[in-house]
Amino acid sequence: MKTNKFYFVSCFPAFLLLISSSLADPIVIGSKKFTESYVLGEIAKRTLNDAGIPVEHRQGMGGTIIVWQALRGAQIDAYPEYTGTIVEEILKDQQLHSAAAIRNALSKFGVGMTGPLGFNNTYALIMRRDRAQKLGIRTISDLQKHPELKIGLTHEFLARQDGWQPLAARYRLSPQSVIGIDHALGYAALQNGSINVKDAYSTDAKIAEYDLVVLEDDVGFFPKYEAVFLFRTSMRKDAIAGLRKLEGTLDEARMIQLNAEAERTKNYTRAANLYFRDDVESATSAGESFPHKLARWTLRHLQLAGFSLLLAIIVGIPLGIFASRGGVVGHAILGFASIVQTIPALALLALLVPLPFFGISARTAIAALFLYGLLPIVRNTASGLQDIPRSLRESAIALGLTPATRLWRIYLPMSSRSILSGIKTSAIINVGTATLAALIGAGGLGEPILSGLNLNDHVTILQGAIPAALLALIVQWSFDLLDRVLIPKGLRL
Amino acid sequence: MSALVQLISVRKGYDGAPALHPTNLSIERGKTTVLIGPSGCGKSTLLRIIIGLIAPDSGTTDFDGSQITPANIDMLRRRIGYVIQEGGLFPHLTARVNILLMARHLGKTDAEMHPRLSELCELTRFSENLLARYPLELSGGQRQRVSLMRALMLSPELLLLDEPLGALDPLVRASLQKDLKEIFGRLQQTALLVTHDLAEAAYFGDTIVLMNEGRIVQQGSIVDLRERPASDFVSEFINAQRSVALA
Ligand SMILES: Nc1ncnc2c1ncn2[C@@H]1O[C@H](COP(=O)(O)OP(=O)(O)OP(=O)(O)O)[C@@H](O)[C@H]1O
Ligand SMILES: [Mg+2]
């Protein structure tokens, strides 16, 4: 949560202009661009709404600086924040320890702060519950007695000023093994016992999903990041009172559940609504019916694979025609397409995401699938054309047909079998690879596979894997049928 | 002035190795000229230069009084028919479409071309029922008849045939030889035919052109070649063929 605060600083002047033009009646709640902030914003919105106050929620406006500036500039009236962030990034005064001191400092900006909502979102060390119970570990200090435990930490936590080094010094920990491991992979490593202790944010949804325990920070090493609402002191009094009603109502366990629900459903309103309900457990199973979800995933999957395939055909066949002529350009085209193919699909996605036009979107998935589907089409088009016997090429020329007619009426139809089989290969690759699109939030049948992997839930994995496999088979069959329509009869004898 | 095609000092080499030394050749109108010679002596090369599939390194080729250039070759190709050993039929098109391909390309309707097609079928003794078949559904002899129809479709002034009967069994070959000769006679067709076989050359040739290692070594009637060989190679070539025929 502390890592993405500055990401959106650069692109928001236009947005600020936009919202400053609509300062009218409703209370405007802002939120930062990460799950927990969205959810808190939605909870505030509903709370005030229920009190009969008109509210608007501007979701995911950006990082700390953006949202803070929006509050000071009266473009928003309130937003959820963390005490640690207020001290270190907004007021930049580490001497402010008490809530009163912080309130006092904020009041100079015309900003007020509610009491803590009840949870502290900070770094934490976590363990598997069974392991911790067996060893009798409850606090970080308890780790001193178990240097044999393998510690796996995110690279960021290993490097941070308030991370591993000072923590180990403060707690006098000297474990035998400390390794750096990716955050998501770390959860899997924790599950299978390759590591025993890892770092996490204390309200990380995974903690609930995997039933992990948070070790108590018994010497108070980690700074407090208690959630509060900041608001303009000029905001209407009933709205301030409404926000203050949220104080002390959200503990870590509850916030973890809400975050998990939000991440699972991508529906922040529904996650927020959970807050107002008592039967939190049953709510997680509510929602879309399975056939409906399946239809949505499959449709999306076909859109991703189909659209990228179409692009690959439109671009790949002309490239294949050029490539068939050999020479430097021909070799360059085939070489480029082959190199793209050797990049692992995951890496290709990762390479595209930081590019300006792409980012986390279906566009990126389609672009990656398109690049992936290119090689089989280019190569088969080129080889199909090159395989036409010289005698037939010369017959076509000797007849006096123009180059365009030769290509369209003779060469391409004669290569149709090879070209179609290239397209078929691409289609099957794309249907399979499109499952990875879920990694960058583009949806499709990878969605249940991914969440199944995260939850270690085989049924959910199969809900995506079986339809994806069936889809590949159907694609294969349809192309076999298509062969009979598109390949000229004279070539099928 | 009855030469339809005139090659003047035409020369062609591949990667420095000469395939055709500077060569002069006239092809008379209304006559069948036969090119004969051992494998690799440059017969196909000469034909391909005339139809513009390869460009000579030097020399010129005149067709009907005008020099063949890259600019006019497409127009000239429509006045030349070209038949090769394997027929060169396009496998994805039926016999009918293969034959009509160029006519369609020039905007003629099938209805317009129908009488011509029937006429050709009769001429080449090819059953019209077979026109709907694909090349792979035809025998080698039938394919060569279709290939011949395709070449004759637009009534070309010149017919180039590169071993058109080379891949056929002797019986089919004999019957096609007979038909071809009859067609040439009926159409007063100017033709340049390549063969390996001296008997075939003698059967067709008004003029026989004997080539060896990229050069024309002798040109004349079969009697000229037999009675007045220009070199030892000529007698050797003729005797070798004779002994094969006797064996
Ligand atoms: N594309 C090419 N590249 C290199 N050399 C070639 C090429 N085409 C022909 N040649 C060479 O040119 C020479 C003449 O070939 P050409 O095809 O004209 O012979 P040919 O008389 O038709 O022989 P055949 O009776 O076997 O068909 C041969 O030595 C051949 O190897
Ligand atoms: Mg030859």
- Decide if B41 contacts B21 (C-beta within 8 A): no
According to DSSP, residue A120 is labeled B
| Ligand 1 atom at minimal distance to the Cα of residue B214 | 14
Percentage of residues of chain A with pLDDT beyond 90: 46
Give ipTM to 2 decimals: 0.93
For the segment(s) A123-214, the CATH number from 3.40.50.300, 3.30.70.980, 3.40.190.120, 3.50.50.60 is: 3.40.190.120
User: Which range, A438-442, A460-464, B6-10, is most confident?
Assistant: B6-10
Assign A284 a pLDDT band (cuts: 50, 70, 90). very low
According to DSSP, residue A139 is labeled B
Res A286 pLDDT > 70 = no
Calculate mean pLDDT across residues A304-313. 96
The per-residue pLDDT of chain B, averaged, comes to 92
A394: nearest CA partner in chain B = B53
The per-residue pLDDT of chain A, averaged, comes to 84
Calculate mean pLDDT across residues B227-238. 92
Q: What is the pLDDT of residue A223?
A: 80
Q: Which residues of A touch B139 (CB under 8 A)?
A: none
A470 touches chain B (CB under 8 A): no
Instruction: In whole angstroms, give the CA distance from residue A123 to residue A212.
Output: 14
Q: How far is B238 from chain A (nearest CA, A)?
A: 30
B167 touches chain A (CB under 8 A): no
Q: What is the pLDDT of residues A203-222, one digit of tens each?
A: 887 887 788 999 988 888 88
Q: What is the pLDDT of residue A21?
A: 34
Domain positions in chain A? 18-120+225-285, 123-214, 290-492
Q: Which residues of A touch B102 (CB under 8 A)?
A: 399-401
Among the bound ligands, the one closest to the CA of B23: 1
Q: What is the pLDDT of residue A112?
A: 95
Q: What is the pLDDT of residue B63?
A: 94
Q: For residue A218, which of A143, A322, A320, A119 has the smallest C-alpha distance?
A: A143
Give the count of alpha carbons within 13 A of B194, CB side only: 23
A392: nearest CA partner in chain B = B88
Q: Which of B88, B92, B135 sits opposite A391 (nearest CB)?
A: B88
Q: What is the pLDDT of residues B37-78, one digit of tens each?
A: 999 999 999 999 999 999 999 999 999 999 999 899 989 999
| Four-residue CA torsion sign, A193, A225, A118, A58 | negative
Q: What is the pLDDT of residue B37?
A: 93
Q: How far is A491 from chain B (nearest CA, A)?
A: 5
Calculate mean pLDDT across residues B180-208. 92
Q: What is the pLDDT of residue A359?
A: 62
Task: Kindly report the protein residue whose alpha carbon is nearest to atom 26 of ligand 1.
Answer: B39
Per mean pLDDT, which range of A49-58, A450-459, B180-189 is the poorest?
A450-459
Res B122 pLDDT > 70 = yes
Assign A166 a pLDDT band (cuts: 50, 70, 90). confident
Per mean pLDDT, which range of A9-18, A162-171, A427-436 is the poorest?
A9-18
Contact A400 B48 (CB under 8 A): no
Res A17 pLDDT > 80 = no
Assign A13 a pLDDT band (cuts: 50, 70, 90). very low
- Burial (0-12, 13-18, 19+ Cβ within 10 Å), A440: buried
Across A59-68, b (16+ Cβ under 10 Å) vs e yields: ebbbbbebbb
B107 touches chain A (CB under 8 A): no
Res A413 pLDDT > 90 = yes
> Checking DSSP bridges between strand A150-153 and strand B17-28, what pairing results, if any?
unpaired
Q: How far is B235 from chain A (nearest CA, A)?
A: 33
Q: Which of B77, B92, B101 sits opposite A490 (nearest CB)?
A: B92
Q: How far is A306 from chain B (nearest CA, A)?
A: 29
- Decide if A149 contacts A198 (C-beta within 8 A): no
Q: What is the pLDDT of residue B58?
A: 94
Q: What is the pLDDT of residues A371-381, one digit of tens each?
A: 999 999 999 99
Q: What is the pLDDT of residue A455?
A: 53
Q: What is the pLDDT of residue A160?
A: 65
> Checking DSSP bridges between strand B32-36 and strand B190-195, what pairing results, if any?
parallel
A33 Cβ contact list (under 8 Å, min separation 6): A4, A7, A8, A60, A61, A62, A63
Q: Please give the residue that has the higher pLDDT: either B163 or A187.
A: B163
Q: Please give the residue that has the higher pLDDT: either A23 or A46.
A: A46
In CATH, the number for domain A290-492 is 1.10.3720.10
Contact B105 A401 (CB under 8 A): yes
Assign A10 a pLDDT band (cuts: 50, 70, 90). very low
Q: What is the pLDDT of residue A23?
A: 37
Contact A490 B88 (CB under 8 A): no
- Burial (0-12, 13-18, 19+ Cβ within 10 Å), A357: exposed
Q: What is the pLDDT of residue B245?
A: 52
Residues with CB under 6 A from ligand 1: B 14, 19, 39-45
Q: What is the pLDDT of residues A100-126, one digit of tens each?
A: 999 999 999 999 999 999 888 888 899
Res A4 pLDDT > 50 = no
Q: What is the pLDDT of residue A239?
A: 92
Instruction: In whole angstroms, give the CA distance from residue A168 to residue A164.
Output: 6
Q: Please give the residue that has the higher pLDDT: either A456 or A310.
A: A310
Q: What is the pLDDT of residue A360?
A: 60
Residue B208: strand pairing partners: B34, B220
* CA angle (B240 as vertex; B234, B246 as ends), nearest 5: 135
In CATH, the number for domain A18-120+225-285 is 3.40.190.10
Q: What is the pLDDT of residue B51?
A: 95
Q: Say if A18-120+225-285 and A290-492 have the same CATH topology.
A: no
Q: What is the pLDDT of residue A146?
A: 92
Chain B interface test: which of A399, A411, A415 (most B C-beta within 10 Å) = A399
User: Quick check: helix, strand or coil at residue B167?
Assistant: coil
Could you list which residues have their CB under 5 Å from ion ligand 2?
A: B 44
Res A288 pLDDT > 60 = yes
Res A183 pLDDT > 80 = no
